[in-house]
Amino acid sequence: MKHKVLNNIAAKEYPKYVVTLMYAYLFCYYVRPQDNIPGMGIVPWVGVLFLIVTIYGFFNFKISLLKTPVGLIFWLGVMFGLVGIGAISPASFKLAIKWMFQTFPQCVMLYLVFKSGSQIKGLFHWWCVIYFFMAIITIKNAPRGPGDFTNDPNDAALALSMGLPFVFYAAQQLDLSKKLKYFYYLTVILILVGIIFTTSRGGFLGLLAAILVIWWLSKSRVKIALYSFLIAMTAGILVMGVLPSGYIDEVNSISDPNDETRIERFRTWEMGWIMFKDKPLVGIGAGNFMYTTANYQRKTSWWTRNEKSLVGRSAHSLYFQILPELGLIGIMFYAYAMIYAPLKLYVLRKKTTGVDEQDELVRLLSNSLIAAMAAYAVSGAFISVAYYPHIPIWITMYAIIIRYSNTNLDQSISTVTTSKV
């Protein structure tokens, strides 16, 4: 059968404690209780948890997994190592080792554990719980997020923007209780407040991207646009009184040509473009941008020795991180995750009729992933997030929903064939 590899991998059932382990893994990864609850970081229990998940992934690894979408995470790690040959620092090899021997086995376990409709539905809900706590912690820590890859205000806003579609679409499920539906809508509100409290301009644009995609994917665009306008007008009046000081000015500064951050960002991007032209095929090596700026700053059009030096500065853009560091080879890898995969989900969602629970789950999760990637692609234009967990986790969720859809398709074909016989 066409999806034989996917179905064979999905055959094994894991005990409930393994499912709980994966829930704990995701919660600690994103919510960071060890960084936000006093005393929880004294003992390195989170490190032990992550190590257990990694070991589980190694023991359950099969070569056939490399043929699935989740295998892209491993091949990205291989690519990081290859482009690092001859690089100015060992950063590429560190990333390669991390993605191949830590991130990949962890994502393998997520992929293997969550396969049935009920398990995927439970994971869908768990993401909403995670974003609920992330939003609360971001509001408390404003403008910063929970920590690690969401500690910076821009990073926190990006993560919350990617989470908004999951919570919004989870609330659209037909069999929800009123309490659960209210919880999801409360979480949506908290996410919006959390993004505002970060005062991140890039995060605000990512939020707009997610909302626009949600609108585009809806069946009643005119109706939703009208309701959204009325809600925005009403909420706007209420929110204006609680906005962080200077938030409006911060957002408006996006178009300010004299904004210092904007000027430095453009100058950094010019360095990235020169790096790419110098090594267009394999780039300067993953994670090597800040270590290589000293060699390229003097080649820019703006450098006069009287300007502020940007040596050691990161790319501050997903695209000007991938382009110079990974070259054309890296662009192809990321294009799969950021363009091809969302388009495939778009086609997949259009094939669902929505008449049964399976189709509904596929459609809602597909919509969530498409809108989340839009937020990542837009916010990422202003943040160096190429190697953050967002990409491997997104790819894993994509792999899970593709397998689930294919498994249901094969079962339907088998049922039809049997009935004809």
Q: Is the pLDDT of residue 243 over 70?
A: no
Q: Is the pLDDT of residue 371 over 80?
A: yes
Q: Is the pLDDT of residue 53 over 90?
A: yes
Angle subtended by helix axes 153-170 and 117-141, to nearest 10: 140
The pLDDT of residue 219 is 80
Confidence grade of residue 41 (pLDDT, cut at 50, 70, 90): confident
The pLDDT of residue 259 is 74
The pLDDT of residue 174 is 87
The pLDDT of residue 19 is 96
Query: Across residues 135-151, what is the average pLDDT?
Result: 96
Q: Is the pLDDT of residue 253 over 60?
A: no
The pLDDT of residue 260 is 81
The pLDDT of residue 2 is 43
The pLDDT of residue 229 is 60
Q: Is the pLDDT of residue 65 over 50?
A: yes
Q: Measured between alpha carbons, how far is 95 from 98 in angstroms, rounded to an integer?
A: 5
How many folded domains does the chain comprise? Answer: 1
Tell me whether residue 31 is in a domain.
yes
The pLDDT of residue 256 is 60
Residue pLDDT, tens place only, 4-15 = 555 555 557 899
Tell me whether residue 399 is in a domain.
yes
Tell me whether residue 283 is in a domain.
no
pTM, rounded to two decimals: 0.90
Confidence grade of residue 366 (pLDDT, cut at 50, 70, 90): very high
Residue pLDDT, tens place only, 74-111 = 999 999 999 999 999 999 999 999 999 999 999 999 99
The pLDDT of residue 236 is 53
Q: Is the pLDDT of residue 252 over 70?
A: no
Tell me whether residue 29 is in a domain.
yes
Q: Is the pLDDT of residue 1 over 90?
A: no
Tell me whether residue 277 is in a domain.
no
Tell me whether residue 306 is in a domain.
no
Query: Across residues 275-294, what is the average pLDDT?
Result: 95
Query: Across residues 223-233, what is the average pLDDT?
Result: 60
Higher pLDDT, 20 or 354: 20
Query: Across residues 119-123, what is the average pLDDT?
Result: 96
| % of the chain with per-residue pLDDT over 90 | 74
Tell me whether residue 68 is in a domain.
yes
Residue pLDDT, tens place only, 300-347 = 999 888 888 888 999 999 999 999 999 999 999 999 999 999 999 999
Query: Across residues 193-220, what is the average pLDDT?
Result: 91
Residue 204 Ramachandran class (φ > 0 left, ψ -120 to 50 alpha, else beta): alpha
Query: Across residues 32-55, what is the average pLDDT?
Result: 94
The pLDDT of residue 372 is 98
Confidence grade of residue 218 (pLDDT, cut at 50, 70, 90): confident
Domain region containing 153: 4-244+313-420
Q: Is the pLDDT of residue 356 over 90?
A: no
The pLDDT of residue 421 is 44
Tell me whether residue 322 is in a domain.
yes
